[in-house]
Amino acid sequence: MIIVMKPHAPEDAVQRVTKAVESKGLETHLSRGKEVTIIGVVGDKNRLCNDNILLLPFVDKLVPITESYKLVNKKFHPEPTTVTVGNHIIGPNTLTVMAGPCAVETREQLFIIARNVKAAGAQILRGGAYKPRTSPYSFQGLEEEGLRYMQEAGREFGLNTICEVISQEAINAAVKYVDMIQIGARNMQNFQLLREAGKSGLPVLLKRGIAATIDEWLNAAEYIISEGNPNVVLCERGIRTYETATRNTLDLSAVPVIRSKTHLPIIVDPSHATGVYSYVPPLAKAAVACGADGLMIEVHNDPEHALSDGPQSLTFDRFDRLMEDLNPYIQLSERTL
């Protein structure tokens, strides 16, 4: 960290700051310019307890030099991570497609969808059993029963499975039935849940919070990995902006930014980002073109009667066509399904 003093800060103000820093067991390094004195701080910034130094007289600003996340940081782990989910490997050589309904509604519905997404080329079946809903009066999911259907559908059609968890209880159930758990956007800073996901042993898909900076997102991943679970995949799913033509604003720039900051894989969810099925195919192609490691796509046998998120779900026909159209883009990115 660098501490920048205000112009013409007196000598005793500078000394007070260096003493405050050194009293925490850190070293300082002074640089006196004509007008401005700068104090470099060497050592573990966490000892400084945040930004209190700002309160000392004549301190102008603090400039962080190192990121607060370590385990997810590309600087200390330059090679891209691969994450194994059941019999599938997510990473730089594959293009992972997670497809399925927003919510598991019935065993029959899930089976017909699973058969179709498998035939089209998806490797992982998605389906929500615990639904975080804005209104307490909306459908909240089949819970453990839904997880059991996920496991049965996965086995029947040779698909790996992923399901969102929203509580310790849901994690306890999920480890019995599915191959990967998902932390949704609303829980990205539910630090308790992140720690529990870290302890679960299952690979974790971590969605970006609806107003999370990339830094906060990577710190959330750090929570999971710091519990000893290195199998984290990030998922960009749109951020909240003033624009209302789409449900959220898909931030595809996040793909190259994430690539430059971390070794973790990143996939993109154009269904939740846009909320409109007809925008999903062009943005799915764009995601592959800019280097994403995979896609999460909502597919439903009967979107008109889906219990949630019908308008953004692809029918089987549309999903089949998308998977065909994606093929040359996947080849251009030197990946295989």
Q: Which residues ranging from 80 to 109 are in contact with its own copies (CB under 8 A)?
A: none
Confirm if 168 and 196 have CB atoms less than 8 A apart.
yes
The correct pick among 26, 89, 175, 214 for binding its own copies (CB under 8 A) is 214
Question: Looking at the chain, how many residues does it have?
Answer: 337
Binding segment for its own copies among 83-91, 108-116, 155-163, 219-227 (CB under 8 A)? 219-227
Q: How far is the CB of 280 from its own copies (least distance, A)?
A: 9
State which of positions 244-283 bind its own copies (CB under 8 A).
244-246, 249-257, 260, 273-274, 277-279, 282-283
| Residue 156 vs 325, nearer CB to its own copies | 325
CA–CA separation, 105 vs 128, rounded Å? 9
Report how far residue 175's alpha carbon sits from residue 140's, in angstroms, rounded to the nearest whole number.
Answer: 20
Interacting span for its own copies (CB under 8 A) from 113-121, 126-134, 153-161, 172-180: 126-134
Torsion over CA: 19, 21, 24, 25 (sign)? negative
Q: Select from 78-86, 115-123, 135-143, 175-183 the region that touches its own copies (CB under 8 A).
A: 135-143
25 binds its own copies (CB under 8 A): no
Nearest distance in Å: CB 1, its own copies: 10
Taking the CB of residue 257, how many other CB atoms lie within 10 A of it? 14
DSSP H or E segment with residue 182: strand 180-183
Q: Contacts with its own copies in 34-63 (CB under 8 A)? A: 34-36, 38, 40, 42, 46, 49-56, 60, 63
Q: Which of 150, 159, 197, 222 binds its own copies (CB under 8 A)?
A: 222
15 is a site residue for its own copies (CB under 8 A): no
Orientation angle between helical segments 107-120 and 144-157, nearest 10 degrees: 40
Q: Which of 78, 79, 228, 243 binds its own copies (CB under 8 A)?
A: 243
d(CA 1, CA 231): 30
- Both tokens of 51, joined, read 């930004």
Nearest approach, Cβ of residue 223 and its own copies (Å)? 5
Scan residues 136-195 and list those touching its own copies (CB under 8 A).
136-139, 166-168, 186-187, 189-193, 195
Shortest Cβ 159–its own copies spacing (Å): 25
Residue 10 is a binding residue for its own copies (CB under 8 A): no
State which residue, 2 or 84, has the beta carbon closest to its own copies.
2
127 contact partners, CB below 8 Å, separation of at least 6: 100, 101, 102, 103, 104, 110, 113, 146, 149, 150, 153, 161, 163
Site for its own copies in 303-332 (CB under 8 A): 303-311, 328-329, 332
Shortest CB 252 distance to its own copies, Å? 5
Instruction: Output the six-digit token pair for 96.
Output: 């992972």
Buried b (16+ CB within 10 A) or exposed e, 91-130: bbebbbbbbbbbbbbebebbbebbbbbbebbbbbbbbbbb
Among 287, 296, 297, 330, binds its own copies (CB under 8 A): 287
Is residue 268 a contact partner of residue 250, using CB atoms and an 8 Å limit? yes
The residues, ordered by sequence, that sit 6+ positions from 49 with a Cβ below 8 Å of its Cβ are: none
Which of the stretches 89-97, 145-153, 206-214, 228-236 binds its own copies when contact is defined by CB under 8 A?
A: 206-214
| Cβ at position 79, least distance to its own copies in Å | 19
Q: Considering the complex, what minimum distance in angstroms separates the CB of residue 243 from its own copies?
A: 6
